[in-house]
């Protein structure tokens, strides 16, 4: 077998393994992670109360030691994101603040900002 043939075989094997692991992660492991992340998000969402201070929400998030969630702060409030999911279906909790107090909270998906995903808690208030 020539060096060129060995290189082609090695490249093909590497390409196959990369494709296999990408497919496995996205379609099998990604589905499991998504369910766990959504569970964490709903748990955190249910702990947040209307009128709660921004600092209290941020402290609760830090104490929650969430494995899959990421808290972000913006101009009008907070958002808690789950890991990106194929098809932009990852859940996001949007927490609207006024005078550093929670005035409403919602769960949406990356690609559907107007409607709650199936299985998500109802918007508050």
Instruction: Kindly state whether residue 121 falls inside one of the protein's structural domains.
Output: no
Q: What is the pTM of this model?
A: 0.73
Cβ contact 68:83 at 8 Å:
yes
Say whether pLDDT at 27 is over 70.
no
110 three-class SS: coil
The answer to whether position 45 is within a domain reads: yes
Give the residue-averaged pLDDT of 4-17: 87
Residue 9: domain span: 3-109
**pLDDT tens, position by position, 36-77:** 999 999 999 999 999 999 999 999 999 998 999 999 999 889
Predicted local confidence at residue 39, as pLDDT: 94
* pLDDT given for residue 123 in this prediction: 94
Whether 117 maps to a domain, the answer reads no
How many structural domains does the chain have?
Answer: 1
With H, G, I as helix, E, B as strand and everything else as coil, classify residue 49: coil
Per-residue pLDDT at 30: 56
């Amino acid at each position: 077998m020539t060096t060129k043939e060995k290189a082609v075989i090695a490249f093909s094997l590497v390409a196959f393994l990369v494709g296999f692991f990408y497919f496995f992660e996205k379609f099998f492991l990604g589905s499991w992670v998504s369910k766990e992340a959504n569970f964490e998000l709903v748990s955190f969402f249910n702990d947040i109360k209307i009128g709660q201070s921004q600092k209290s929400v941020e402290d609760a998030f830090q104490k929650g030691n969430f494995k899959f969630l990421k808290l972000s702060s913006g101009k009008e409030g907070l958002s808690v994101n789950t890991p990106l999911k194929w098809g932009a279906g990852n859940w996001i909790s949007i927490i609207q603040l006024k005078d550093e107090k929670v005035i409403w909270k919602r769960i949406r998906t990356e690609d559907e900002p107007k409607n709650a995903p199936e299985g998500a808690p109802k918007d508050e208030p």
